A and B are shown apart, each in its own frame.
Chain A
Amino acid sequence: MSITLSNISKRFGAFSALNNINLEIPDGDLVALLGPSGCGKTTLLRIIAGLEQADQGDVFLRGDKVTDKSVKNRHIGFVFQHYALFRHMTVFDNIAFGLRVKPSKDRPSEAVIRKRVHDLLSLVQLDWLHDRFPDQLSGGQRQRIALARALAVEPSVLLLDEPFGALDASVRKDLRLWLRHLHHELDVTTIFVTHDQEEAMEVASQIVVLNKGKIEQKGTPSEIYDSPSNDFVSHFIGQTNVFDLQKGDSAWLKSAGIVLDDAEGITAHVRPHHIGVEKLSDGSASPIILKDWQHLGATIRLELSNEGLNGSAKTIYAEMPSDQFKQLGLDKGDKVSLFIKHAHWFNLAKPQVPEAATDFYV
């Protein structure tokens, strides 16, 4: 195991930021700590780095207990959200910093340092910027320089705090893929913090979903998406329609052909692409109409409304490939029938029971 956390807890005053976190991260993984803001993910990352001290629990890096070691002695690479490049140093000096502050017996010669810095600069494809100052760089360039600086000291783990948070959308997309490829190349255990589920899905090989200082689920992106272990994860990862049966949403399910005897505390989460839609003739009695639709590129998102159903008025979303939508020939205001291909069921009355989440196929 590259990183092991056991029973980590952290409080800030009365606020419990982390609650008994246990986590093992194998060598070479690329892990996303994913959660809404305030869930404790950055605190956890800083505790691993040694920038923050846990109130209780231990941190192990490559089997060594480092709980009481300072950040200086943990041999980690940390990339800050706003990069924290040294503003009075050139790009070259920034990257060389970690090598130059080594005690004289471990410090490489200036020639070795120069070679290493230029190697890193070519790795991040920015060798031509070596004599610039941080304020002369774009956001994406700063990000890559910060990464090169962290890699200069050959860290055993790489920790990135919201690595794409401060970037433009287009730069972000490029850097995500770049980071994934870089990780393949370097094979250094990497953890990054993000609140963006799409980013986590796209970049990480493992996702740890955090909420309110606790781990809700960990697994590969497909595991997290296809079998969320509770309603929080299901709701947080990807789009989902929530049917709360106590609030009269059972009418929706009935109209889709699902009838439940005991609806107490049960919610059903249905992803938009798991809802099938068919056109009905005008004369039929279906209460569901197509209110609006949007073109999202390859898929079409349908806004369906149930104004005629008894129960609260509500809009649900379905998605289908745009070809299929064209074949249906639907128009705004058309009556439709729907069927649910796949749902996740959660029993909120007994949230602790693992069986609460069950798959349901039609």
Chain B
Amino acid sequence: MNTISPVMPSRTKSLTIGDADWVRYALVVLTLAIIGVFLILPLATVLIEAFAKGWTAYASSLTHPDTVAAIKLTLLTAAITVPLTTVFGVSAAWAIARFEFRGKSLLITLIDLPFSVSPVIAGLIYVLIFGAQGWFGSWFSDHDIKIIFAVPGIVLATLFVTFPFVARELIPLMQEIGHEEEEAALSLGASGWQTFFKITLPNIKWGLLYGVLLCNARAMGEFGAVSVVSGHIRGLTNTLPLHIEVSYNEYDFVGAFASASLLAGLAVVTLVVKTFLEWKQKQDLKA
């Protein structure tokens, strides 16, 4: 019935129950201006600087062996941490949403710990534990295992900071969905795994993907914690964010901004997918 629309003059409405028109416009313009100056402009700068010396310079800096090594290491780190965080997140959310036990609220607080600790401290913790002067440092060096200033340290530091993402997303979701559908599946003769894969997983899949996505963005973009444990060994222990910093410090602006454009691209993709997942999850919960 779109043809019949209320004949309410909007000016009267805004005068009686809302703010005057100029307030609305001023607020919208202000918001757009802030977003423009602080978000769009820097993002545009990244692209402008990356292409400052043309396509070929952009392409060659991205195919530089050090850049390629940094990209590979970043992907490897994400490939290890994201599945681990996902498994941890699902188990923790399952335990918290399904069982009553002593210390449950303490556990929820602990899961949030990485959010409240500065990433630099997270990196430092691993240096103190596994570094040459650390608690276990001598044992590891005796056995010729390198953790700090090597890939394992980077993975550990990334794990620490990405730890809560999936769990945080799933706990409220699983609490809201409840346990009844799973009980119904069990009463119909399904095994625990069948119940998980056929009932639980389909119910939480959008929330799970959402958590995985945020976790992945953080894993690839993490700077602070990784910076402390990496040692900045070019071509070996530089992840993409570290590589950007090193390049920039060496006045290789095209190189720095070319790499930065990759992370910016990841951010944009993340944003789009995130919006889609949020929408899907809302649809599912409505059902």
A interface with B by C-beta (< 8 Å): 49-51, 70-72, 75-78, 80, 82, 84-88, 97-98, 101-102, 133-135, 149-150, 152-153
Contact = CB atoms under 8 A, between A and B. Distances in A.
A85 B202 CA distance: 13
A108 B194 CA distance: 17
A87 B199 CA distance: 9
A72 B194 CA distance: 12
A70 B181 contact: no
Q: Interface residue tally of chain B, by bracket? A: 10 to 19
Please list the 5 inter-chain residue pairs (A to B) with the smallest Cβ-Cβ separation, ordered nearest first: A98-B188, A84-B180, A135-B287, A84-B184, A101-B190
B287 A101 contact: no
B287 A134 contact: yes
Contacts, number: 68
B284 interface: yes
Contacts of A82: 180
B247 interface: no
Contacts of A135: 286-287
B183 A72 contact: no
Given A87-B203, A88-B203, A135-B287, A71 B181 contact: no
A82 B181 CA distance: 10
A213 to B, nearest CB: 20
Contacts of B184: 78, 80, 84-86, 149
Which of A87, A102, A133 counts the most B-chain CB atoms under 10 A from its CB?
A87
A70 B181 CA distance: 16
A153 B188 CA distance: 7
A79 B185 CA distance: 11
Main secondary structure of the interface of B (DSSP, over half): helix
A308 B67 CA distance: 101
Contacts of A97: 185, 188, 190, 198
Given A84-B181, A86-B185, A97-B190, 8 more contacts: A51-B186, A71-B183, A71-B187, A88-B203, A98-B189, A101-B191, A101-B194, A153-B189
Given A78-B183, A80-B183, A82-B180, A87 B284 contact: yes
A101 B188 contact: yes
Contacts of B185: 86, 97, 101
Contacts of A70: 186
A71 B186 contact: yes
Contacts of B286: 135
Which of A49, A78, A84, A133 counts the most B-chain CB atoms under 10 A from its CB?
A84
B203 A101 contact: no
B186 A133 contact: no
Contacts of B202: 88
Contacts of B198: 97, 101
A84 B148 CA distance: 50
A101 B181 contact: no
B284 A78 contact: no
A264 B254 CA distance: 100
A101 B284 CA distance: 24
Nearest to A95: B188
Contacts of A101: 185, 188-191, 194, 198
B96 to A, nearest CB: 19
A98 B185 CA distance: 7
A256 B284 CA distance: 64
A49 B183 CA distance: 10
B190 A86 contact: no
A84 B183 contact: yes
A134 B199 CA distance: 14
Given A87-B287, A135-B287, A51 B187 contact: yes
Contacts of A102: 189
B188 to A, nearest CB: 4
B189 A72 contact: yes
A87 B186 contact: no
